[in-house]
Chain A
Amino acid sequence: MTRRNFHASVIALIAAGAIPASAQEPTLSIGMAAPITSLDPHEDSNSPNNATSRHIWDSLINRGGLAENKPQLATEWEVVDDTHWRFKLREGVTFHDGSSFDAEDVVVSLIRARDKESQAFASYTRNIADVTAEDDHTVVVETTVPDPMILNSLSRIRIISSEFADAPVSDFENGPAAVGTGPFKLVSYTPGDRIELERNEDYFAGPADWSRVTLRLVPDDGGRLASLLAGDLDLIENLPAEGVARVESNDDLKIIRGQSTRLVYLGMDVSRDQTPFATAKDGSPLDSNPFKDARVRKALLMAMNREAIVDRVMQKNGTVAHQFVAEGFFGHSGEVEEVGYDPEAAKALLAEAGYPDGFALTIHGPSGRYVNDSEVLQAAGQMFSRIGIDTKVEVMPWSVYSGKYSDGEYSLFLGSWGVNTGEVSNPALALVAARNADKGTGRYNGGGIDVPAINELLDQATSTLDEETREPLLQNVSAATFNDVWLLPMHYENVVLGAKNGIEFKPRGDKYTLAYEVHKAGE
Chain B
Amino acid sequence: MVTTLIRRIIQAGFVILAMTVIVFLGVNVIGNPVDILINPDLNQAERLRVIENLGLDRPLWQQYLSFLHGLTEGNFGNSFVYSKPALDVILERLPATLELALCAMVIAIVVGLPLGLYAGLYPNRVSSRVIMTGSILGFSLPTFWVGLMLILLFAVQLGWLPSNGRGETAMLFGVRWSFLTWDGLSHLLLPALNLALFKTSLILRLTRAGVQEVIMQDYVKFARAKGLRENRIILVHILKNLMIPVVTIIGLEFGSLIAFSIVTESIFGWPGMGKLIIDSINLLDRPVIVAYLMMMVVLFVSLNFIIDVCYTLLDPRVRLDGKG
Residue contact B165 to A194, C-beta cutoff 8 Å? yes
Q: Would you give the shortest CB distance from B314 to chain A, in whole angstroms?
A: 39
**Which residues of B245-278 are within 8 A (CB) of A?**
266-269, 271-272, 275-276
**How many residues of A are in contact with the other chain, CB < 8 A?**
54
**A43 touching B267 in the complex, CB below 8 Å, given contacts A192-B276, A223-B163, A406-B35:** no
Of A218, A402, A426, the contact of B164 (CB 8 Å cutoff): A218
Q: How far is the CA of A216 from the CA of B162 in the complex (A)?
A: 13
Is A223 a contact partner of B267 (Cβ separation < 8 A)?
yes
| A298 CB to nearest B CB, Å | 28
Interface string of B12-46 (1 = CB under 8 A from A): 00000000000000000011101110011111111
Contact with B along A46-64 (1 / 0, CB 8 A): 1000000000000000000
- Residue numbers in B under 8 Å from A122 (CB-CB): 39, 41-43, 46, 49-50
Q: How far is the CA of A227 from the CA of B148 in the complex (A)?
A: 11
Q: How far apart are the CA atoms of A409 and B313 in the complex, in Å?
A: 62
Q: With A123-B39, A403-B31, A437-B44 as given contacts, are A230 and B165 in contact (CB-CB < 8 Å)?
A: no
Q: How far is the CB of B176 from chain A (nearest CB, A)?
A: 7
A398–B36 contact, CB under 8 A? yes
- A123 near B46 with CB under 8 A, answer yes
Smallest distance from the beta carbon of A367 to chain B beta carbons, Å?
12
> What class of interface size applies to chain B in its complex with A?
35 or more
Does B131 reach chain A (CB closer than 8 Å)?
A: no
**Given B31, B39, B49, B81, which contacts A399 in the complex, CB threshold below 8 Å?**
B31
A194-B165, A399-B284, A403-B35 in contact; A232/B155 too (CB < 8 A)? yes
Instruction: Tell whether A444 pairs with B31 under 8 Å between CB atoms, given A226-B164, A398-B282.
Output: no
Beta-carbon contact of A223 and B266 below 8 Å: yes
With a CB–CB cut-off of 8 A, which chain B residues contact A406? 35
| Chain A residues in 8 Å Cβ range of B43 | 122-123, 126, 439-440, 443
**Residue of A123, A226, A400, A402 with most partner-chain B CB within 10 A:** A226
A170, A226, A444: the one contacting B40 at CB < 8 Å is A444
Measured CB to CB, the closest approach of chain B to A39, in angstroms, equals 11
Closest chain B residue to A417, Cβ basis: B40
A354: B residues at CB distance < 8 A: none
What is the minimal beta-carbon distance from A430 to any residue of chain B, in angstroms? 7
Top-5 shortest CB links A-B: A440-B43, A192-B271, A123-B41, A193-B271, A403-B35
| With A190-B169, A443-B43 already in contact, 13 other A-B pairs whose C-beta atoms are closer than 8 Å | A169-B83, A192-B93, A217-B269, A217-B271, A218-B164, A222-B267, A223-B268, A226-B148, A232-B163, A233-B164, A439-B43, A440-B42, A443-B44
A-B contact pairs, 14 of them (CB 8 A): A44-B81, A117-B53, A122-B46, A122-B49, A123-B42, A169-B84, A193-B96, A220-B266, A223-B266, A224-B269, A227-B269, A398-B282, A399-B281, A403-B32
